[in-house]
Amino acid sequence: MKLVTFLFMLLFFAGLSCAPANAADVNVKLIIDGKSFKGSECAIMRNGMMFLPGKPACEKMKITFFYDDAKKRVKMMKKGGVSVILFAGKKDMNVNGTKSFAPVAPFSAKGNVYVPLSVFERYMGAASQYDGKKKILRVINNTGKSSEIDINGEKNMNIDDIDDLKDF
């Protein structure tokens, strides 16, 4: 009985880990405004592009997030301005009523819809820094109360310090 319980717990907690969505994906620890994500809510690097788990990331950044599973449609709205509509599996997008294209298509995996980091940066006011050795992505949010965090342990950075951050 103890062996069965142990195996169940092992499988249960393994399912909560940040496992890759597919073999080519690289899991990346996600930190938004100094707060770490846990379990399966990690960022994913796929083919050199970074993706954030849409709903959990939006919640931390105080961005309204809707997902219509039947239409595979994501809608993100930044308070006081930008509205972005994307479609899982398609590069088509709509920004404030104007048709556009995302650099890469969002995708569904592990119970989340993963949205390109570039969409958060370009339209939602986020900035980011990626540490490839440690596989950590730090995101600074310009939509909530926090606009300044200790991003590298040496100095505080503001959203205006975008030139100090690495691009993807």
159's tokens: 């959203």
Q: Does residue 52 carry a pLDDT above 90?
A: yes
In angstroms, the CA 27 to CA 20 distance is: 6
Provide the mean pLDDT of the chain.
77
Residue type, 33: D
Q: Does residue 19 carry a pLDDT above 90?
A: no
Name the pTM for this structure: 0.73
Longest dimension (CA), the chain: 60
In angstroms, the CA 100 to CA 153 distance is: 38
In angstroms, the CA 75 to CA 147 distance is: 24
CB atoms within 10 A of CB 38: 13
Q: Which domains does the chain have, with CATH numbers?
A: 2-153 (3.30.457.10)
pLDDT-wise least confident of 80-84, 100-104, 108-112, 155-159: 155-159
pLDDT digits (tens, 9 = 90+) for 127-163: 999 999 999 999 998 754 333 333 333 333 443 443 4
In angstroms, the CA 94 to CA 104 distance is: 14
Name residue, tokens 């048709």. Answer: 99
